């Protein structure tokens, strides 16, 4: 349609043979590239190159247009600013597919889901058609989706035809034949929406390519990615570069440069800020965060008790070693070995708890610094950095699409600048069900997100909000809230029904299309073989999308190139990037949104390529694919990852996390970890699912060291920390563990510190910045990805609003609009999620999520701490995120088994804390050492749980006699343990019941899952047997009347054998001990009491496990308890009959109490 282009017209037939021949010709003639396919509502193909959008066995004739554009910059069909908007319209409605040795295709979809989409940002949004004969393209529209009609006659014309009319038609309207009064599309859009002219912000000149500092040249690298001479990832010359040339020079992601390249280092003085922060310096500087120390009345006795208990344990163990039980040396030996290990394990767990702290944030200061008008930011537009949200899912059967879509809705409605927020969903299963559920969520977000913003809804997960047990009208004052809530509630109910009906809808649709294809194939076969017998035609049963084309991912019936482990890479922009300025709604329509911003954040569906023979590295590989794709498409300097069942419970949690990153010294933080909170847990928390001791005690304590460990979800990352770079000023903060005795001679740095922010090399003495020539060997050969690194590093710096802030950025640096998406950008994102991209790179070994362990989260955090980074624990007043946890005993044991197996893998790998670098503090190293060692405690714990039974069976005890010394030691150790627990409860805020539940499940897990983890870990290390785990189910029970139905379901697993055996043996041993004592001539009551006491200690810890085996309360027959007692008594009597006490003549002998 473009007048400056040359067209070639050809006719072809849509058949299997022609497709195969054409594919072969394309592979021979040109390397893989980007091809656009576009089918109009009338069935013709217009404007872009032909793609296989109908059935492979169809027989529809169509016209194939190929646009030949000479690779010269002077042959551009339209203005670049207009062409960018044109291309983004197509890109946001196109499904991009591709991968290794395959063409990257952009399939323009008329619709994404069966239901109608209305939001203008959403893929497949409906609109009026162009009135030009032969063109069915949608007309131009503004941010609200309303038609832009450039002529007063209201003749409907698309953007392409309008540009043709302006350039080739003399500016005449094709409808009324009158000249257009205004040919500037941008002005028309602004006039139509009724917005005022945007206030011009001071734009600093970009750095020159020839001179300036090295940091300036790094930041200017993003300009080169828009060059017309740049080749794509696949090596194909990208003609779209000339057609859609951009005029942006600041790089994708709103980079901002100063004139002299100095970015807020105090070494350079105030003159180094370019736009100096004098406007901020006139006011008192206020920090964004502060530490809240534990009161001395609590922490001092706590530390003293730890020291006392260490001394008492040492004296007790020395006493135990010296005083042997000569009557049962074997019993004494086992007990002493176990006690030595328990003391060592307790020491590893307790020492990192010496310095617990609390932290608080100040959101008012954050708003004042980043979203308040200043001379450097006159409009008061948000100066906060970009944030990319990652949501990972793999199996729609175990991770219901409704749960995932509600998580996405909570992200889209988060209280963070819309233009700075992007959400990426990784579907590692490549399921059409997840794809269409995402599309439904994007459609419902058009209603839900403005409703949340208008009425300050919390939480912003619709399912959780509408199921709140508290009064939903509390503190709501707007008169239309009740009406709006009723409308949105009805829409959400319909939305849930659509989500629940998607599996049947997809299956019925696929069956219908498959039947149509079989009929077409039979007709074609009859035409080719008129007199011959027609054999049944076998056609692969494909899975079909809503627009009547094959789904490129996993089919319901697996086929080659369409299975869970064999499918192409897929990227679909569900919601295109929002406009830079707020877009308010109107009073007409579903809700009154007059003063509400109706924009939605960028939403992208990603399913990485999978092929047989490649190790895809499970969740870690999926997360690394998202890191690379997001770096190319939005390049937010910060990343927050969530599991599909963890949603944003506090809409301001993102801002609270950003307070730490943007505060003074925040550039040395690699991540901010939020605690995990769970819903749907039984009130008694039988299996310690809340895990409050770990999240509120251990993690707070680690926050006083180098920071908490990474626990897999609810974590805000600094992107360059994931890239494997060292923290800024690492040489200053980490001189080495022996620097006091053997100080290193400092080399004079030749490069200013702010220009050495991107540095790899661990303990290397080289002070030079990263060698860019070696970057492709580390990150892969994507120039887009490599060029985005310095930009994300600069944007993630704290604000240089104080002389003490080193390595900062000037105020107002991130207020520049981001560039629009183009086809080459998304095509490059397809390339970096291909299965071959990580070959011969450092992805998974040093960069991104680390491979080689089922607990990749702990290893990833350990690597960052090992390089000298610090982390922070952010406990918000209102829970930041909430998720689900398995309340069934079997599921809970399997979850603990996976964690413990990962810890064993860490212990036997080079990630062992014994091998940590000198940059890691000693107490932090002890904490990581405990992470790798704690599963081995199960070996000694199981032995110790059998010792009371062995004592009762043999009539001996671990000590010769229960003398006063042993009892005093035991009493002091028990009292100090209880006092430490009470003080931990005091400074952490947990309850005594939660502490006791944790102790109980420590023994349950230690005698079951931890032992199995040690065995599996040893098998992997010694025999090389790989460990496979299944996803933990996120779906609830089938009993709709009881939300805790899963709690009572008994699912047998071999992990239950050791605890069951321990319980049975101890119960029988108690009965045998009593019988032996009663029947003996001289009863040994002291030994009986000692054995019975420890047996009851074991049974008390295993009580929740026993309740889990009994199933639902009231459903266990009474006869079970009766028979259990009779069997125990019978075995006891048999034991006494087989081995009767010597010299006994009557029951009980000389029965006397000691």
Indicate which residue of 428, 685, 726, 801 is catalytic: 428
Quick one: tokens of 459? Answer: 């939480």
Q: Where are the beta strands (DSSP E) in 378-498?
A: 387-393, 421-427
Indicate which residue of 164, 857, 891, 1046 is catalytic: 857
Query: Dihedral, CA atoms, 767, 768, 769, 770, nearest 10 degrees?
Result: -100
Cα–Cα distance measured from residue 406 to residue 746, given in angstroms and rounded to the nearest whole number? 54
Catalytic-residue membership of 471: no
Question: 3-state SS of 473-535?
Answer: CCCCCCCCHHHHHHHHHHHHHHHHHHHHHHHHHHHHHHHHHHHHHHHHHHHHHHHHCCCCCCC
Any idea how long the chain is?
1154
Cα–Cα distance measured from residue 25 to residue 19, given in angstroms and rounded to the nearest whole number? 10
Closest CA to 244 of 105, 82, 418: 82
Burial 654-674 (b: 16+ CB within 10 A, else e): bbbbbbbbbbbbbbbbbbbbb
Q: Which residues pair with 97 in a beta bridge?
A: 105, 570
Question: 3-state SS of 884-920?
Answer: ECCCCHHHHHHHHHHHHHHHHHHHCCCCCHHHCCCCC
Cα–Cα distance measured from residue 1002 to residue 1049, given in angstroms and rounded to the nearest whole number? 22
Q: Helix (H, G, I), strand (E, B), or coil: what is residue 252? A: coil
Q: Helix (H, G, I), strand (E, B), or coil: what is residue 593? A: coil
Q: Which residues pair with 63 in a beta bridge?
A: 11
Question: What backbone torsions phi and psi does residue 31 show, to the nearest 5 degrees?
Answer: -70, 170
Quick one: tokens of 283? Answer: 């006011």
Catalytic-residue membership of 857: yes
Strand pairing report for 638-643 and 715-718: antiparallel
The DSSP result for 824-855, as a single string, is: HHHHHHHHHTSTTTTTTS-BTTTBSSPPSSS-
Q: Helix (H, G, I), strand (E, B), or coil: what is residue 925? A: helix
Q: Which residues pair with 172 in a beta bridge?
A: 179
Cα–Cα distance measured from residue 775 to residue 785, given in angstroms and rounded to the nearest whole number? 10
The neighbour count for residue 381, using CB atoms within 10 Å, is 23
Cα–Cα distance measured from residue 826 to residue 929, given in angstroms and rounded to the nearest whole number? 43
Q: Which residues pair with 647 in a beta bridge?
A: 882
Cα–Cα distance measured from residue 65 to residue 60, given in angstroms and rounded to the nearest whole number? 16
Q: Is the peptide bond before 998 cis (omega within 30 degrees of 0)?
A: no
Question: 3-state SS of 1070-1129?
Answer: HHHHHHHHHHCCCCCHHHHHHHHHHHHHHHHHCHHHHHHHHCCCCCCCHHHHHHHHHHHH
Cα–Cα distance measured from residue 967 to residue 316, given in angstroms and rounded to the nearest whole number? 11
Cα–Cα distance measured from residue 203 to residue 182, given in angstroms and rounded to the nearest whole number? 27
Cα–Cα distance measured from residue 556 to residue 545, given in angstroms and rounded to the nearest whole number? 12
Cα–Cα distance measured from residue 1040 to residue 127, given in angstroms and rounded to the nearest whole number? 42
Q: Which residues pair with 883 in a beta bridge?
A: 678
> Angle formed by the axes of helices 922-933 and 889-907, to 10°?
120
CA angle 989, 994, 998 (to 5 degrees): 120
What region does 208 belong to: left with phi over 0, alpha with psi -120 to 50, or beta? beta
The alpha carbons of the chain give a radius of gyration, in whole angstroms, of 34
Active site residues: 428, 857
């Amino acid at each position: 349609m473009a007048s400056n282009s040359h067209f070639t017209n050809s006719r072809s037939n849509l058949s299997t043979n022609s497709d195969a021949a054409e594919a072969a010709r394309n592979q021979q003639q040109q390397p893989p590239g980007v091809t656009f396919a576009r089918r109009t509502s009338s069935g013709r193909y217009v404007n872009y190159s032909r793609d296989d959008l109908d059935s492979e066995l169809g027989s529809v004739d169509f016209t194939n247009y190929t646009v030949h554009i000479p690779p010269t910059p002077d042959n551009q069909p339209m203005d670049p600013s207009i062409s960018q908007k044109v291309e983004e319209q197509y890109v946001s409605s196109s499904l991009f597919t591709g991968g290794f040795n395959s063409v990257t295709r952009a399939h323009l979809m008329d619709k994404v889901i069966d239901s109608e989409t209305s939001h203008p940002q959403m893929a497949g949004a409906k609109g009026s058609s162009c009135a030009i004969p032969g063109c069915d393209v949608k007309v131009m529209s503004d941010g609200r989706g309303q038609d832009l009609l450039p002529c007063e006659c209201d003749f409907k014309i698309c953007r392409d035809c309008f540009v043709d009319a302006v350039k080739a038609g003399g500016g005449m309207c094709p409808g009324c034949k009158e000249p257009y009064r205004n040919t500037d599309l941008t002005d028309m859009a602004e006039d139509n929406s009724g917005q005022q002219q945007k206030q011009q912000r001071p734009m600093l000149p970009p750095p020159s390519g020839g001179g300036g500092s090295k940091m300036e040249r790094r930041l200017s690298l993003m300009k080169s990615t828009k060059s017309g001479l740049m080749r794509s990832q696949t090596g194909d010359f990208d003609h779209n570069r000339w057609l859609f040339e951009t005029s942006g020079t600041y790089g994708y992601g709103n980079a901002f440069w100063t004139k002299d390249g100095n970015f807020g280092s105090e070494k350079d003085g105030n003159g180094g800020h370019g736009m100096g922060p004098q406007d901020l310096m006139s006011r008192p500087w206020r920090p964004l965060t502060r530490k809240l120390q534990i009161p001395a009345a609590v922490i001092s006795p706590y530390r003293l008790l730890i020291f006392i208990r260490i001394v008492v344990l040492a004296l007790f163990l020395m006493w135990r070693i010296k005083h042997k039980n000569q009557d049962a040396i074997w019993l004494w030996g086992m007990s002493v070995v176990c006690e030595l290990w328990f003391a060592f394990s307790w020491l590893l767990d307790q020492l990192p708890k010496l310095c617990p702290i609390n932290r608080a944030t100040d959101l008012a200061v954050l708003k004042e610094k980043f979203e308040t008008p200043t001379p450097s930011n006159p409009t008061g537009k948000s100066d906060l950095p970009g944030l990319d949200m990652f949501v990972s899912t793999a199996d729609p059967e175990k991770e219901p699409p409704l749960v995932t879509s509600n998580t996405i809705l909570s992200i889209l409605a988060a209280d963070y600048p819309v233009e700075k927020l992007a959400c990426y969903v990784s579907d590692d299963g490549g399921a059409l069900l997840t794809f269409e559920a995402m599309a439904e969520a994007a459609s419902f977000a058009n209603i839900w997100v403005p409703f949340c913003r208008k009425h300050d809804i919390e939480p912003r997960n619709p399912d959780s909000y509408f199921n709140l047990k508290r009064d939903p009208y509390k503190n709501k004052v707007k008169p239309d809230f009740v009406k709006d809530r009723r409308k949105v509630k009805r829409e959400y109910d319909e939305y849930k029904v659509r989500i629940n009906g998607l599996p049947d809808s997809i299956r019925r649709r696929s069956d219908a299309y498959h039947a149509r294809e079989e009929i077409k194939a039979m007709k074609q076969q009859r035409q080719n073989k008129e007199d011959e017998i027609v054999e049944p035609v076998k056609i692969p049963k494909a899975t079909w999308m809503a627009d009547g084309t094959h789904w490129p991912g996993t089919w319901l019936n697996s086929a080659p190139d369409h299975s869970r482990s064999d499918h192409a890479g897929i990227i679909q922009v569900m919601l295109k990037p929002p406009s830079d300025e707020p877009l308010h709604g109107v009073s007409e329509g579903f809700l009154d949104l007059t003063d509400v911003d109706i924009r939605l954040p960028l939403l992208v569906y990603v399913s990485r390529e999978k092929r047989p023979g490649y190790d895809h590295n499970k969740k870690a590989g999926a997360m690394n694919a998202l890191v690379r794709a997001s770096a190319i498409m939005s390049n937010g300097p910060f990343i927050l990852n969530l599991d599909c069942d963890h949603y944003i419970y506090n809409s301001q949690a993102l801002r609270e996390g950003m307070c730490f990153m943007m505060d003074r010294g925040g550039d040395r933080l690699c991540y901010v970890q939020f605690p995990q909170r769970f819903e749907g847990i039984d009130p008694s928390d039988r299996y310690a699912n809340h895990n409050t001791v770990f999240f509120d005690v251990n993690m707070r304590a680690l926050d006083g060291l180098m920071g908490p460990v990474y626990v897999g979800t609810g974590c805000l990352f600094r992107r360059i920390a994931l890239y494997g770079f060292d923290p800024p000023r690492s040489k200053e903060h980490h001189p080495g563990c022996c620097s006091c005795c053997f100080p290193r001679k400092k080399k004079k740095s030749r490069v200013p510190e702010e220009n050495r922010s991107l540095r790899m090399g661990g303990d290397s003495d080289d002070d030079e910045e990263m060698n860019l020539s070696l970057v492709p060997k580390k990150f892969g050969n994507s120039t887009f990805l490599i060029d985005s690194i310095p930009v994300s590093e600069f944007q993630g710096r704290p604000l240089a609003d104080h002389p003490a802030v080193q390595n900062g950025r000037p105020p107002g640096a991130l207020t520049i609009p981001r560039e629009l998406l183009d086809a080459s950008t998304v095509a490059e994102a397809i390339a970096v999620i291909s299965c071959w991209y990580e070959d011969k790179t450092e992805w998974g070994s040093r960069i991104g999520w680390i491979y080689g362990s089922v607990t990749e989260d702990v290893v990833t955090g350990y690597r960052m701490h090992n390089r000298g980074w610090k982390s922070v624990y952010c406990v918000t007043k209102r829970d930041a995120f909430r998720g689900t946890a398995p309340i069934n005993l079997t599921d809970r044991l399997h979850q603990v088994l996976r964690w413990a197996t990962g810890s064993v893998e860490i212990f036997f790998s080079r990630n062992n804390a014994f091998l940590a670098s000198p940059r890691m503090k000693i107490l932090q190293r002890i904490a990581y050492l405990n992470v790798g060692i704690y599963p081995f405690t199960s070996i000694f714990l199981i032995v110790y749980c059998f010792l009371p039974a062995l004592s009762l069976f043999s009539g001996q005890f671990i000590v010769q006699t229960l003398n006063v010394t042993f009892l005093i030691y035991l009493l002091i150790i028990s009292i100090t343990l209880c006092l430490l627990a009470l003080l931990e409860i005091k400074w952490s805020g947990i309850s005594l019941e939660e502490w006791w539940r944790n102790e109980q499940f420590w023994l349950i897990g230690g005698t079951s899952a931890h032992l199995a983890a040690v065995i599996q870990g040893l098998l992997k290390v010694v025999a090389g047997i790989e460990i496979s785990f299944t996803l933990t189910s996120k779906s609830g029970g089938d009993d709709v009347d009881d939300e805790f139905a899963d709690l009572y379901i008994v699912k047998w697993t071999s992990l239950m054998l050791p605890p069951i055996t321990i319980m049975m043996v101890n119960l029988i041993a108690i009965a045998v001990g009593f019988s032996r004592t009663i029947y003996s001539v001289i009863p040994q009551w002291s030994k009986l009491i000692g054995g019975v006491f420890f047996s009851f200690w074991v049974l008390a810890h295993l009580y929740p496990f026993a309740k889990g085996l009994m199933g639902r309360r009231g459903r266990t027959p009474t006869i079970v308890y009766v028979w259990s007692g009779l069997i125990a008594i019978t075995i006891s009597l048999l034991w006494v009959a087989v081995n009767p006490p010597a010299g006994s003549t009557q029951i009980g002998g000389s029965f006397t109490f000691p």
